[in-house]
Amino acid sequence: MNNAEALHPATTVPVELGARRYEIAIGAGLLAEAGKRIKPFLKRPVTAIVTDSTVAGLHLDALRKSLAAEGITSRAIVLPAGEATKSYRHLAETCDELLAAGIERRDIVIAFGGGVIGDLTGFAAAILRRGVDFIQIPTTLLAQVDSSVGGKTGINSPHGKNLIGAFHQPRTVLIDIALLDTLPKRELAAGYAEVAKYGLLGDASFFAWLEGNAQSLFAGDAQSRIKAITKSCEMKAHIVTEDETETGVRALLNLGHTFGHALEAATGYSSRLLHGEGVAIGMAQAFRFSEKLGLCARGLAERAEAHLRSVGLPTRLADIPGDLPGPEKLLEIMRQDKKAVAGKLTFILVRGIGEAFIARDIKESDVLAFLAEEQA
């Protein structure tokens, strides 16, 4: 980048994917420099921003101002906030609006929002004119540490979540931690579940660091936010580099997700349970299930759970308001998970903190017994 000297310092995490290599820039106040940082990627000074109504109300002016300062004209496409936007209808609307905005094959589209906007925009970019490039400016903690990195894009089908999609890597990711200042605490905690996940799945010392620093991270301390996000992005980037299309090790990122997805489905993807909250319960369950199967030492589930609870995350089925279906029904939902292979259930289980592994062929009777215990 030839104008780098004019920019604030940012931490850079490379995602080494050969021809699709890109960098994630992490810092405070990067939104104000978005124009400078994006300009080198553009073939002409034109772009389109896809965002949601909440983010647009809070931060769109700042982004457009920063682009305009570099002479970049932008069309904004503002979609409704919420998971329901990851739909065929809004995909079609987004594609048509991008075409109406005059986006050409060599232009770049900006995804400016949480995981919903990132997933939808990335997928729209993947299919628009058989593929245009896109840039992620994630605005939730979940999107900053998870969904904006790794190139999974897509929408939901009436048959299930994320069933229609493509792998499409962004050209770059700009993470401005200042955007988190407007994020509701519940959303911050939900995103934090994915941060804790990286420690729990693969790095015990990172988890220990989180135990000591989560409170300052939640209080808004910039250094601890940058460190936690940087470490999370590094771990995700590393795993994605090893296994871009999830044929192996990338599945470790699903720690807490088999249980979590079943709970999200059982609660109708409603505000009863945010994705990260489902993951927090799911991770606690993965630890408890691992203990029960004798795979990891007793007491570790309690430690994982205590940390998640300390930041206000749920860890038990009883934490979910309202009724849940019974063990049989939850198991049936898990069988329909797209990660099921030939009907066999795959779980990510643990041998310890930071020692997750892929457990194939878990016996349904063991799962049922465990779920019955959880609901007792």
Question: What are the catalytic residues?
Answer: 130, 152, 194, 236, 246, 250, 254, 257, 261, 275
DSSP 279: H
Using CB under 6 A as the criterion, which residues of the chain lie in contact with ligand NAD when the complex forms? 52, 54-55, 58, 81-83, 86, 113-117, 119, 139-140, 142-143, 146-147, 150, 152, 161-162, 179, 182-183, 187, 275
Task: Provide the 3-class DSSP secondary structure of residue 332.
Answer: helix
Alpha-carbon torsion 210, 59, 173, 169, what sign? positive
Nearer to ligand NAD, 23 or 366 (CB): 23
What are residue 184's DSSP bridge partners?
A: none
Query: What does the alpha-carbon distance between residue 9 and residue 22 come to, in Å, rounded to a whole number?
Result: 18
- Burial code of 226-244, b = ≥16 C-beta within 10 A, e = fewer? bbbbbbbbbbbbebbbeeb
Q: Which residue has the tokens 């905005």?
A: 101
| In the complex, minimum distance from the CB of residue 144 to ligand NAD, in angstroms, rounded to a whole number | 9
Q: Note whether 258 and 321 are within 8 A (CB).
A: no
| In the complex, minimum distance from the CB of residue 248 to ligand NAD, in angstroms, rounded to a whole number | 17
Nearer to ligand NAD, 42 or 148 (CB): 148
Nearer to ligand NAD, 64 or 288 (CB): 64
The CA-CA-CA angle for residues 141, 180, 37, to 5°, reads: 90
Nearer to ligand NAD, 139 or 232 (CB): 139
Task: Provide the 3-class DSSP secondary structure of residue 338.
Answer: coil
Task: Provide the 3-class DSSP secondary structure of residue 134.
Answer: strand
Nearer to ligand NAD, 195 or 367 (CB): 195
Residue nearest to ligand NAD (CB): 115
Nearer to ligand NAD, 161 or 227 (CB): 161
| In the complex, minimum distance from the CB of residue 65 to ligand NAD, in angstroms, rounded to a whole number | 17
| In the complex, minimum distance from the CB of residue 181 to ligand NAD, in angstroms, rounded to a whole number | 8
| In the complex, minimum distance from the CB of residue 6 to ligand NAD, in angstroms, rounded to a whole number | 25
Query: What does the alpha-carbon distance between residue 208 and residue 199 come to, in Å, rounded to a whole number?
Result: 8
Query: What does the alpha-carbon distance between residue 300 and residue 292 come to, in Å, rounded to a whole number?
Result: 12
Q: How far from the centroid of its chain's Cα atoms is residue 234's Cα?
A: 14
Which of 89, 144, 87, 90 lies closest to 113, judged by CA? 144
Which of 176, 135, 136 lies closest to 30, judged by CA? 176
| In the complex, minimum distance from the CB of residue 177 to ligand NAD, in angstroms, rounded to a whole number | 10
